[in-house]
Structures are given as structure tokens and as C-alpha cells.
A = this chain, B = another copy of it.
């Protein structure tokens, strides 16, 4: 089924207001989550809304708490999210990092004790909108084994790199596992095999069965040993800078009190913005001129399809799994 964007926002808003969230926050949160689905990232939009609300109902997320500054250290600030709504806290901190970047060209906010921030790319797009490079990431609970190990020890710690461009932001939003749990849930729900080995089953065999991988808790890191190395480093940096928890200290029970880093770099502070835009445009054009393996499937830059998907879903309504929408309407 398809749901109109405005209807989706309204439904999310209604549920959040019913959980005691103040009206401007409910509107902002609902809009961010609906926009995620609008732009085709269904796994982190409507599909995840139920868990967002469940965390509030379970007392894991405090609808009234918001991130506040803890200390300023030059161009870096530490903030405490106090387990308020993760997406609201993240947008507060990204906004602050952009402000610091406008003052110092590069600015960083390190955030402790946040709840799940929903779609990571949301905050990268905020940076690009303000003519900033965005570099941001979160840690998570232990979701995958270290390379060579069997038991989940590292997070999948999504990393976002965002770059403003004349063709719309270049947006890389990548978990350090080959497939995020959100993606695997989708494949499992739809009964489809993953396009590549996405992990190991309980017997330790490489597998494309999302359900078996989720059960064994052994997803494949992106690039084998490289993915878990990068994930570990991102985790340690986030915890060190924010003063918050590492993946290890978050533990395996519930994903709460994660650590996040928001770095913004203001291109408007540099003297040659026009030349920068020109060279980015030329690079993207060159990439798109790739000799495609499948001529019907031209090479695209990351983030390129966002605009057309957005337009299509705005026009036709946003595709949602019927059972998921029913569940949302019953909240």
C-alpha cells in the first residue's frame, strides 16, 4: 500500500503527542521519520517507527529530555543526550556542529547517552543543506563478531559522509556490517535471499539467509576484517570524545546510551567555493559516464536517487508494508 506523506506525518505526530511529546518536537520528529520513508529509506523510516514508540512506552526514552552542552573545548563540544528522543537530540547536535563550523571552519559535537537516532543520513543532509561537509557516526550495541570471532563484540556503527553539490548532496550512509539489521529484516520479511553473503549461520557457514544470520548474530562485516576494524575505531573515538559509553559498555540487553560524533566543515568559509562546486560537478559527471556493466543500470553517485524517489513518493504516496502500517495506526 501507499500512504500520502502528509498522512504519514499526521499519524506519527498523533502517536507522539499521545506519548506526551510536546507539539513542536512531535511535528519535527514525525517529519524527519516520514521524510526518511519519503526518500526511499524505508528501513529507517516507517518500518522503525513502532520501535521508536516502543522505546518510549518501555521507559527507555524520555520524551521530555533533550541534549544539553556539558563542556566546550575549543572547536569541540561535549553534549549529554540524557536518553531523550534520539533523532531530536541528533538534530540539535548536528545544528550545533554546523554553528561551530561556521565559526571555526571545522566543528565537532560529541554526544553521550543518546537513544537510537533513526536514519543516520538525516543529519548529513542537514550539514549539506548548510553548505557543510558532514562526517558523523554512532556506536551501537554489540551486533557482530570481530573478524575471526564467533560472538558479537562490535557495533555496526553507521558512518555518514555528506557533501553538498549542485546535483544534490552526495550522501554515503553506511553501516560497518555488509547489511544493516534493518535491511536484513526487510529481506527476511519478504522471504528473499541477500544478494551476497551477509553473514554466517549458527553452524559458521557463510550465508545469504537474513533470518539465519539474525539468529546467529553473525552478520558479515563490510570488507571482512576491514569492517570490524573500522567499526571498533569509530566506537572508541565516539566514546572517548563524548565521555559516553563504548559498544562494550552498552552491553547486549537494550540499545541505549549510545555515543555519537557530529563533525561539520563549512565550505562557505573557504575562499574558492565556486571552484569547489565545479570540481565536484565534474567528478560526479565523470562517475556517471562510467561504462556500465548493465547498460540499463547506469552508475549513480550515492544519494543521487533521493530526489526522484522523493518526488515519486510525494506524488504516488509512500510504499509501506500493510502490516507495519496497521501496527502504526494501532499505537
22 residue pairs of the A-B complex, CB under 8 angstroms, read A73-B105, A73-B269, A73-B270, A74-B75, A75-B104, A106-B106, A146-B299, A148-B298, A150-B293, A153-B286, A159-B230, A161-B234, A170-B233, A174-B226, A204-B293, A232-B301, A236-B283, A239-B280, A240-B267, A240-B280, A243-B270, A249-B279
Q: Counting CB contacts under 8 A, is A265 at the interface? A: yes
Asked whether A239 lies within 8 Å of B106 as measured between CB atoms, the reply is no
Contacting B at CB under 8 A, from A247-303, are 247-249, 263, 265, 267, 269-272, 275-276, 279-280, 282-283, 286-287, 290-294, 297-299, 301-302
- Residues of A in contact (CB 8 Å), total 81
> Does A223 reach chain B (CB closer than 8 Å)?
yes
Q: Which residue of B lies closest to A298 (CB)?
A: B148
* Docked CA distance A103–B106 (Å): 13
Instruction: Considering the complex, give the chain B residue whose CB is closest to the CB of A303.
Output: B229
A196 within 8 A of B: yes
Q: In the complex, A7→B11 CA distance in Å?
A: 73
Asked whether A125 is an interface residue with its Cβ less than 8 Å from the other chain, the reply is no
The docked-state distance in angstroms from the alpha carbon of A289 to that of B236 is 17
